[in-house]
Each structure stands twice: as structure tokens, then as C-alpha cells.
Amino acid sequence: MRVPVSKRGKSHGSSSLGRPSKGVGGKGSSSDVKLGRELSRDTNFYSPLIWVIGPDWTLGFGKATGVPAAESSVTQPNELLVPGDNYQVTIEMTASAGTVKVQFTSGTQVDGPPVSSNSTFVMTAAAGNGNIAIRKSIDFDGEITFLSVRKILS
């Protein structure tokens, strides 16, 4: 199955496949790293069947939208995370309030930093991690338009 590619791809330092071409540090960074293939099966939220959608989220048409209410998540089952390996996580979003955290769940939960704007960061998988989740704060009001998770090879 082929997943649609981000229409914003090239403006965010991406390859022609819509995947980030630069390592942690962003476009033109001297800290470029070699990255593995994309592990998110739906980087642009076009396929609601791939995601487990929590309360106060809607998903589709290229975005996951969260509204203020209780903390909740959208989760993508993924069996490809390897304990102890590092992953580059890129999230693109707009928010008028609140934050989200990318999480590796199942087994020992790993939390990324709380973010309220476009961000790229590194997360290390722990034992039993098998899901990629985006957890919103109680006051989050915004949209996630892109999520990439790629193994750092070097």
C-alpha cells in the first residue's frame, strides 16, 4: 500500500518522497545523519484505519485534529521499533493552545518532549515498544499534519 506524500515536503528539507532528507538539526544542518526508511505507515493522516483514535480527536483529510478536553492519544500500531535504537521523530503541527508528546508505547513507555510547533527530536525505543502515539494535553487545540519516525543509522 502506498501512502500519500506531504504536499509541503520540499519546503521542509525533504526528499522527493516527502521524507526528511536531513538528520536532526534541520535543513542544511552540519549534524546530518543517515536515516533508515520511514516507519510511520501513515505520515499524513489519510488512513483512519491505521490509527487507533482516542476521544477528542478526529482524523482524516491529511490531519489529526485535537480539541480541548481530557488528555488522549491517536496511536499507530508498529512492530518495527527496536529496543535501544535511536529514532528521529519529526512532527508538523499548528496549535492555538496546548502541547502534544510523541510516545513509544507498549512495554516501557518512552515520551518525547512536549511540543507546540513543528519539531524534530531524537527518541530511544525501550523494551516492548510496539506503538507510536501522539498524546495531547488537556488544553490542546490544534492539528497535526505530518509525523515521521525513522531509525538513525549513523
Radius of gyration of the chain (CA): 14
Residue pointed to by grid coordinates 496511536: 75
Neighbours of 81 (CB within 10 A): 24
Sequential DSSP letters for 73-105: EEEEE-S---TT-EEEEEEEEEEEE--EEEEEE
Asked, for residue 95, whether it belongs to a domain, the answer is yes
**25 within domain boundaries:** no
Write down the pLDDT at residue 136: 98
Query: Exposure string (b/e) for 69-78, b if CB count within 10 Å is 16 or more?
Result: eebbbbbbeb
Report which residue type is found at 132.
I
Does 23 reside within a domain? no
Per-residue pLDDT of the chain in tens (154 residues, 90 and over written 9): 333 333 333 233 333 234 444 455 444 343 678 999 999 999 999 988 999 999 999 998 899 999 999 999 999 998 889 999 999 999 999 999 999 999 999 989 999 999 999 999 999 999 889 899 999 999 999 999 999 999 999 8
Note the pLDDT of residue 107: 87
Residue 96 belongs to a domain: yes
Residue 44 lies in a domain: yes
Residue 59 structural domain: 34-152
pLDDT score of 79: 84
Q: Would 134 be classed as within a structural domain?
A: yes
The answer to whether position 9 is within a domain reads: no
State the CATH number of the domain containing residue 93.
Answer: 2.60.120.260
Amino acid (one-letter) located at 34: K
The answer to whether position 19 is within a domain reads no
What is the phi/psi pair of residue 65, to 5°?
Answer: -110, 125
Tell which residue, 149, 128, 3, 140, has the closest CA to residue 64. 140
Domain count, the chain: 1
